[in-house]
Amino acid sequence: MTARSIIIDTDPGHDDAVAILVALASPELAVRGITTVAGNVPLALTTRNARRVLALAGREDVPLFAGCGRPLLRPLVTAEAVHGQTGLDGAELPEPTVPLSDRHAVDWLVDTLLAARDDPVTLCPLGPLTNIAMALVREPRIADGIAQVVLMGGAAFAGGNTTPAAEFNIYVDPHAADIVFRSGLPLTMLPLDCTHKALMQADWIEGLGRLGTRVGQAVSALLRFYQRYDVAKYGSSGGPLHDPTVIAYLLQPQLFAGKTCNVRVEVGSPLTLGMTVTDWWGVTGEPANCTVITEVDAAGFFALVADRLGRL
Ligand code: RIB
Ligand code: CA
């Protein structure tokens, strides 16, 4: 089996951290590198957090590069209320031992993707799309090195989690998202319509703590902290585990369902800025540009995540 080359673009963030760990634990995937972006918390913290996750997994061999510290046009909006002041509150993760590269993530993305024509890379954006958009504008030829883009973000009919209309990753940098959704790249979107059906249950979180591993202990503590916000906000039995759905989709796509349709990003209206306007019924006649995933086998998803985390 030839492993699928992936690059994770991320703003850790508790759910990002779990997504990175699941990817590292999965031999079906070859993590070519990790690029960080400002989002859940400022860039310095998302970068530190990503490095700490690699240290936790014992995988500081994975190349990591810091990217854009703010959206293309908008001021940065962060989510400390959800993720805590550090962006990974709830557990003490090991400090990184490998110095941070001084190469900018966008430069590394451009060079890596230009060289990837023979082994195109699947991009896995888990945060605002600033780095991806910047790379596409900087060097459109990188498209030949991109197999597909599978991203967590948006909302088709679920409503927003940051405004009534917009999901966080898209809302933070709607202009970057607009560039990506207009790029013509093969896109798959894991929106809130899907991730709000992937609600963590307390016994599942506690089960991670019983894996008897450093990773299991750390992730269990992180997720206990992380889900408190969404449980209080939605009054649900558990919080949504957003970002790992991207990795799970690559590993076991049969756990998911959706349809390909036209998706456009609102960049003008103050009321609906960042809305992913999803033409589910094809009423616009606009060409389909994105596979929108709205269903997930939650039990299968959580079993997969726990199985992979147990391998670290
Ligand atoms: O709306 C949820 C998304 O925003 C997730 O990727 C979370 O990590 C935050 O980045
Ligand atoms: Ca994220």
Residue 237 has a pLDDT of 80
3-state helix, strand, coil in the chain (%, to 5): 40, 20, 40
The predicted-structure confidence for 237-285, as pLDDT tens digits, reads as follows 889 999 999 999 999 999 999 999 999 999 999 999 999 999 999 999 9
Ligand 1 pocket check for 196: Cβ under 6 Å = no
Ligand 1 pocket check for 9: Cβ under 6 Å = no
d(CA 135, CA 123): 12
> Which of 9, 169, 189, 227 to mutate to test ligand 1, by most ligand atoms within 8 A of the CB atom?
169
Q: Is the pLDDT of residue 181 over 90?
A: yes
The predicted-structure confidence for 86-123, as pLDDT tens digits, reads as follows 999 999 999 999 999 999 999 999 999 999 999 999 99
Q: Is the pLDDT of residue 79 over 80?
A: yes
Residue 236 has a pLDDT of 78
Which residues line ion ligand 2, judged by CB < 5 Å? 11, 13, 16, 126-127, 243
The predicted-structure confidence for 227-246, as pLDDT tens digits, reads as follows 888 888 888 788 999 999 99
Active centre residues (catalytic): 242
Residue 1 has a pLDDT of 77
Ligand 1 pocket check for 240: Cβ under 6 Å = no
Residue 232 has a pLDDT of 82
**Residue bearing tokens 């940065």:** 76
Residue 229 has a pLDDT of 82
146-152 vs 276-279, strand pairing mode: unpaired
pLDDT confidence bin for 126, thresholds 50/70/90 = very high
Ligand 1 pocket check for 40: Cβ under 6 Å = yes
Query: Which ligand number lies closest to the CA of residue 40?
Result: 1
Query: Which ligand number lies closest to the CA of residue 79?
Result: 1
Residue 68 has a pLDDT of 98
In ligand 1, the atom with minimum distance to the C-alpha of 240 is 2
Rounded to the nearest 10°, the torsion over CA 275, 129, 244, 231 is -50
Pinpoint the alpha helices (H) of 196-269.
202-209, 214-234, 244-251
Report the predicted TM-score, pTM, of the whole model to 2 decimal places.
0.97
Residue 228 has a pLDDT of 84
To the nearest whole number, what is the mean pLDDT of the chain?
A: 97
Query: Which ligand number lies closest to the CA of residue 160?
Result: 1
- Looking at per-residue pLDDT, the higher value among 228 and 217 belongs to 217
| Domains of the chain by start residue, with CATH | 4-309 (3.90.245.10)
| Average pLDDT of span 143-172 | 98
Ligand 1 pocket check for 78: Cβ under 6 Å = no
d(CA 152, CA 296): 14
> Which of 8, 9, 10, 11 to mutate to test ligand 1, by most ligand atoms within 8 A of the CB atom?
11
181-184 LR contacts (CB < 8 Å, sep 24+): 181/263, 181/264, 181/265, 181/276, 181/289, 181/290, 182/264, 182/289, 183/136, 183/143, 184/143, 184/289
